Amino acid sequence: MTMKRFLLATISALVAFSSHAEVKLPAFFSDNMVMQRNAQAPIWGKAKPGKTVKIKTSWNGKTYSVQAANDSTWSAKISTPDAGGPYEISLSDGKETLLKNVMIGEVWLCSGQSNMEMPMKGYKNQPVEGAGDAILHSRNPQLRLFTVKRCASLVPQNDVKGHWDEAQPESVREFSATAYYFGHLLQELLNVPVGLIVTSWGGSACEAWCKAEWMKPFEKVVIPTSQEQVNKTQQRCPTALFNGMLHPLIGLRIAGAIWYQGEDNWPRYNYYADLFSNMVKGWREEWQQGDFPFYYCQIAPYDYTRITAKDETPVNSAYLREQQFKAEKMIPNCGMAVLLDAGLEEGIHPTKKKTAGERLARLALSKTYGIKGIPAESPKYDHFELKGDTIVCFFRDADMWINCNGHFESKNFEIAGSDRHFYTARAWIYRSKMYVKSDSVPNPVAVRYAFKDYVVGDVFSEDLPASSFRTDEW
């Protein structure tokens, strides 16, 4: 071996050794992070095999010891107090790694496709309503933000790329708008630190966020067998984002999750409720944290004919919204934020991200944190009764009855007789019910509300809109 090669080999060996000379942590265990309060919170990483890793937490001065396994991995659970900070966490296997400015509070996972990913600055030509002022006033050291970099993978990964930031104009501008408004309202009302971890990718399919075994009931789903297959469709490839962007996070102690996805699955609506409920069940099983809270947005109205190929038959996205409505009954400890009044006819990315984020937050504040007096649940169609030539619709989750935003008639109802032909109907409120009638349908058998691609919902209870619905299965 020449002297040059010997020196290079020596340097390489020293670099390899030094890489095990201190504790290595995944990206989300770092300065500025938030850990879930009042928990036995897992923390893990790598160290030289056989080394003892000592973890000391500044909030109670307690030291934990754990030994690195033969594959260099180690894991421990540390007791977290009630909300507070900033704190420090010291980790040492002989050389100290110090995590600074650590907060203890509420940690939420935020996932989905482009309407979750869409940053406060918006997309080009597609702004977020009111974002400029919100960004200007966003400085808040009690709110921490982490965005997982995009990664589509055939095999499960063990780490992600990303970093924690305090909320301030520069970081908030680049952060998910839906997640920011969710976290901002939580932090304000709970008055504790809040950490948001966004793992999302525009255009991603629900199938991409699932493990292969969760999709066995769906014969048309093709599981990739090579990274080349993953690379071709990336965020639409089944299992690819679960492996690349979710698997590394599994085990983090979280308060719950929020989700805004469904647009990519719109043409495959017929099995979405089953697929989505399987995904949520699977996430919960992986986390081993019980049925943690899971809140999601129903997709907003949009004219999907604009993205339908000329040789394809347009699919009414109301069918996907219907599947999301059904999923709410299938998933325990969940809630759906209805956005029927917050769509955009010419854009699949609605500007009203504050509406989306704060409706998710209201669900969490009411259902998870038990804050009384917060309207959180949208009114839901329950059943109808026939009264001569009139259909009478009944609603639940509407203690204050229904309203039409200051009016007593809706413009979004249709009824049909046995010929299955729907006619625009007059719909008016009397006390807690909606009465629907059309002179063209003397013997009605079915009713539909706002069952179209694009529509502006006009049935509410307090300020929360009802979902579109139908009583037929035609």
Q: Which tens digit of pLDDT belongs to each residue from 49-85? A: 999 999 999 999 999 999 999 999 999 999 999 999 9
Q: Give the pLDDT mean for 34-47.
A: 98
Measured over the CA atoms of residue 205, residue 208, residue 209 and residue 214, the dihedral's sign is: positive
Q: What is the pLDDT of residues 133-189, one digit of tens each?
A: 999 999 999 999 999 999 999 999 999 999 999 999 999 999 999 999 999 999 999
Confidence category of residue 21, pLDDT binned at 50, 70, 90: low
Q: At 293, list the tokens.
A: 């809270």
- Name 138's Cβ contacts closer than 8 Å, sequence gap at least 6: 167, 168, 169, 172, 180, 184
Q: Give the pLDDT mean for 412-435.
A: 98
Q: Give the pLDDT mean for 283-301.
A: 98
Q: Where are the domains of the chain?
A: 20-102, 104-368, 380-470
Would the pLDDT of 387 be above 50? yes
DSSP state of 364: I
* pTM higher than 0.75: yes
Decide if domain 104-368 falls under CATH 3.40.109.10: no
Q: Give the pLDDT mean for 431-448.
A: 98
Confidence category of residue 7, pLDDT binned at 50, 70, 90: very low
pLDDT at 318: 98
| Mean pLDDT for all residues in the chain | 95
Distance in angstroms (rounded) separating the CA atoms of residues 51 and 22:
10
Q: At 35, list the tokens.
A: 């850990």
Same fold, 20-102 and 104-368: no
What's the CATH number for 20-102? 2.60.40.10
pLDDT at 17: 37
Residue type, 239: T
Strands (E) in 148-217, as ranges, are 164-167, 194-200
pLDDT at 22: 86
121 vs 4, more confident = 121
Q: What is the pLDDT of residues 215-230, one digit of tens each?
A: 999 999 999 999 999 9
Provide the β-strand partners of residue 197. Answer: 109, 146
Would the pLDDT of 15 be above 80? no
Would the pLDDT of 6 be above 70? no
Q: Give the pLDDT mean for 194-213.
A: 98
Instruction: Tell the residue number behind the tokens 């000592």, with chain if given.
Output: 54
Confidence category of residue 313, pLDDT binned at 50, 70, 90: very high
